[in-house]
Amino acid sequence: MLPERTDVLVVGAGPTGLAVAVTLAGHGVTATVVDRLAEPPVTSRAAVVHAGTLEVLDRIGIAAPLAARGLRSARFSVRDRDRVLVTVPFDRLPSRYPYALLISQAETEAVLADRLTALGGRVLRPYEMTGLDLDGDGAVARFGGGRAVRARWVVGADGMHSRVRELAGIGFGGPADPGESFLLADVHVDSTLPRDQVSLFLSRQGPLVWAPLPDGTVRLVATVDDAPRDPQAHHFQALLDERGPARRPDRVTGMAWSSRFRIHHRIASTYRSGPVLLAGDAAHVHSPAGGQGMNLGLRDAVALGDALAAGPQALDGYAADRRPLAEEVLGFAAGLTRLAAAPPPLRPLRNLLLRLVSTVPPARHRIATRLAGFEPARTRPRPRPRPRPR
C-alpha cells in the first residue's frame, strides 16, 4: 500500500532507484520506492560493472555479493579482426576489485533488492506515477485510482523517458540526430577468443563488443544502420562474420536473448529542481560503448543517497558534482564510437596509434582507469553523515 506521506519517494526500481534506497537505508532513512512494473525484468541488459563502481558499491554492502555472482575479466582487448591492437589490463588497478565484473543486469538488480530487503525496505509494485505537483513543502506525486503521496523529496530514477523529469519541467537536451542504433544478444558460440576478457572489435561498419557472461553465453553488442525488429541468431552470425575473427571465425550455435535499441546522447539540464532530484538514465543517456551507462547511474545513486541523508545543503553539491561527470562519460563513449568507425583511409593510422599505445604501460593504465570509472576526488564518497532523526 502506498503511504500518504514519506520523506523520500524514489520513482523507479531499476539499478539506480534500488541503489538510492539501499544507500538511504544504510543511513537509517527509509525511502518509499515505487515501480510501475508488477515484477522486475529478467533480461540481462547492461552486462558489466566496473572496478570504480564496485568500490562505491562496497560502501553499501553490494560489491561482495555481486562479485560472487559475476565473471571477472582481468583484461579488455581492442582488435581489428585477428589483430590485437591493444590490451588494457584491469589487474593493476588500485582497487580491491581489479577487474571488470561481467554480470547480467537482472542479477545486479536482484542483489540490490535482496540488500534492500535485508535492511527492512521493499519496492511497492505496480504503481505508476502519473502526476507531480511541486510546492513549498515538497511535492505530491499522483498515481492511478486517485492515490497520492506527499514527499519532501522525489527522486526521478525512472529511466530514459522519465515522467519525473518531464513533470518537473527539466530539459533533456542533446544533438538532434536520429541517435545510434544497436543490436544486442546473449548467444551460445563456438569461439577461440579468450573467455576471461572482453574483446572490442573495431570495424569500418562499426564496433562489435564480445563479452563472456557467467552463464556461458557471450554478449554481443553492435551498432547497425537498420536493426531488425526481432533479431535472430543469423543476424549475429552475420555481424561476427563481418567484424569478428577472420582466420578462425566464431560460430553461433544458439541464442538466449536478443534485443535492439536506439540511443540518443542526452543530459538533463539540471539534476535538481526544488524537491526533485534526478539520477541514472533519467539524468543521462549515451551509447553503451565502454559499458558506462548503468555504472554511472549506480555511482549517482550512492552519491544521491549520501546527499539526501546528509541534508538539503548537500543536494546542490550532488547536482553540481554529478552533471559534469555525465558530460565526461558522454564524451568518452562518443570518442570510442568515433574510434571504431574511423573511415577506411584513417584506419591504418588509428591501428598504428593504438599499437603504439599498447607499448606504453602508463597509457594502457590510463585507459584502464578511465574505463573502470574511478571518479575525481570531489565526488568520492563523502564522510559518512550521521543519520537524520526520522
Q: Report angle CA 52, 33, 41 to the nearest 5 degrees.
A: 70
Q: Please, which residue, 212 or 297, has the CB nearer to ligand FAD?
A: 297
**E strand map for 92-201:** 100-102, 123-124, 129-135, 138-143, 148-156, 172-173, 180-190, 197-201
Q: Binding to ligand FAD by residue 77, rule CB under 6 A? A: no
Task: Kindly write out the interface string for residues 83-122 of this chain, putting x where it contacts ligand FAD by CB under 6 A and - elsewhere.
Answer: ----------------------x-----------------
Q: Which of 17, 52, 70, 305 binds ligand FAD (CB under 6 A)?
A: 17
Q: Which of 26, 89, 121, 293 binds ligand FAD (CB under 6 A)?
A: 293
Task: Kindly write out the interface string for residues 228-267 of this chain, putting x where it contacts ligand FAD by CB under 6 A and - elsewhere.
Answer: -------------------------------x-x------
Taken in order 15, 21, 24, 26, the sign of the CA dihedral is negative
Whether 81 and 244 have beta carbons less than 8 Å apart is answered as yes
Q: Binding to ligand FAD by residue 35, rule CB under 6 A? A: yes
Region of 115-123, 147-155, 198-206, 285-293 interacting with ligand FAD (CB under 6 A) = 285-293
CB of 71: closest distance to ligand FAD in angstroms? 15
Site for ligand FAD in 201-230 (CB under 6 A): 221
Q: Please, which residue, 105 or 358, has the CB nearer to ligand FAD?
A: 105
Q: Binding to ligand FAD by residue 180, rule CB under 6 A? A: no
Site for ligand FAD in 297-336 (CB under 6 A): 297
CB of 203: closest distance to ligand FAD in angstroms? 18
Q: Binding to ligand FAD by residue 163, rule CB under 6 A? A: yes
Whether 222 and 182 have beta carbons less than 8 Å apart is answered as yes
Residues contacting residue 34 through CB under 8 Å, at least 6 positions apart: 2, 9, 10, 11, 12, 13, 123, 124, 125, 127, 129, 143
Q: Which of 121, 244, 245, 280 binds ligand FAD (CB under 6 A)?
A: 280
Residue with cell 530539459: 171
Cell of 341: 568507425
Cell of 110: 536482484
Region of 87-95, 243-251, 287-295, 328-336 interacting with ligand FAD (CB under 6 A) = 287-295
Q: Comparing C-alpha atoms, which of 2, 284, 51, 362 is closest to residue 151?
A: 2
Region of 12-20, 63-71, 330-338, 347-355 interacting with ligand FAD (CB under 6 A) = 12-20
Q: Report angle CA 174, 175, 177 to the nearest 5 degrees.
A: 135
In angstroms, the CA 134 to CA 139 distance is: 4
The DSSP string of 179-246 is -EEEEEEEEEEE--S-TTEEEEE--TT--EEEEE-TTS-EEEEEE-SS--SS--HHHHHHHHHHHS-S
Q: Binding to ligand FAD by residue 278, rule CB under 6 A? A: no
Q: Binding to ligand FAD by residue 128, rule CB under 6 A? A: yes
Q: Comparing C-alpha atoms, which of 297, 285, 234, 295 is closest to residue 261?
A: 285
Cell of 375: 571518479
Q: Comparing C-alpha atoms, which of 131, 127, 137, 142 is closest to residue 168?
A: 131
Q: Binding to ligand FAD by residue 36, rule CB under 6 A? A: yes
Region of 44-52, 92-100, 318-326, 369-377 interacting with ligand FAD (CB under 6 A) = 44-52
CB of 262: closest distance to ligand FAD in angstroms? 10
Q: Binding to ligand FAD by residue 200, rule CB under 6 A? A: no
Using CB under 6 A as the criterion, which residues of the chain lie in contact with ligand FAD when the complex forms?
Answer: 11-17, 34-37, 45-47, 105, 128-129, 157-159, 163, 184, 221, 259, 261, 280-281, 288, 291-294, 297
